[in-house]
Amino acid sequence: MLKLNLYELNKYYSFQNTPIFSARELVVIFDSNKRAVNGFLSYNVSKGRIIRLKAGLFTLANIAVNDFTIANKLYFPSYISLDTALSYYNLIPETVYSITSVTSKSTKEFETMNKRFAYFKIKKDAFLGYGPVMLEGEIVYIAHSEKAVADMLYLNFLKKREYNDRMDWSKINLNKLKSYLKLFSKKGLINYSMSKFKEYDQ
């Protein structure tokens, strides 16, 4: 049985793909009680050894965690999409500083580790078109390129996100894009999206 201390915690999570954990997980891993775990976490957060990402969710200060992993864990279910995914696929030239995701839950935003993590709601029926990618030794979930574009166009069509007119449409498979746009079942969305393509193609 593992003993609840920082050494064992570091040892355990140094072998995990996602070194982010909840207080509840530590109760199970260390066969401890909630009070002891909460005391352990509060003490080590105050000492800067553990970082509180949000209420009940933590990571170790001495183990680097990439932003995409944090985004996936902060709000579930979600996957990386919109500007962050478009930048990842080099579909837009800008460097993106906030981490954008979509979710089937309510729109939400977090500020943690000096960064902004934004989540935008889409229809449950359209919560598809993403998959796992190995990034810096961690498994993260990110939209396929055409789905990231579809998510962006959908939210722009609803006037909830701005359209990025510097997007490189030459890398987009229009048939795949249309198949993703159909998932939203939104009248006029496909025609609107194709009008944006025509603006680029002129």
Total domains in the chain come to 2
> 111 and 184 in one domain?
yes
Helices in the chain by DSSP H: which ranges? 6-13, 23-29, 34-46, 67-74, 82-88, 145-157, 174-182, 189-201
What's the domain range around 85?
A: 67-201
Mean residue pLDDT across the chain: 93
> 73 and 51 in one domain?
no
Structural domain includes residue 1: no
Q: Which CATH number does the domain housing residue 36 bear?
A: 1.10.10
**Coil, strand or helix: which one is 72?**
helix
> 128 and 169 in one domain?
yes
Q: What is the pLDDT of residues 161-188, one digit of tens each?
A: 988 888 999 999 999 999 999 999 999 9
Cβ atoms of residues 111 and 86 within 8 Å: no
Asked whether the predicted pLDDT for residue 202 surpasses 60, the reply is no
> 170 and 102 in one domain?
yes
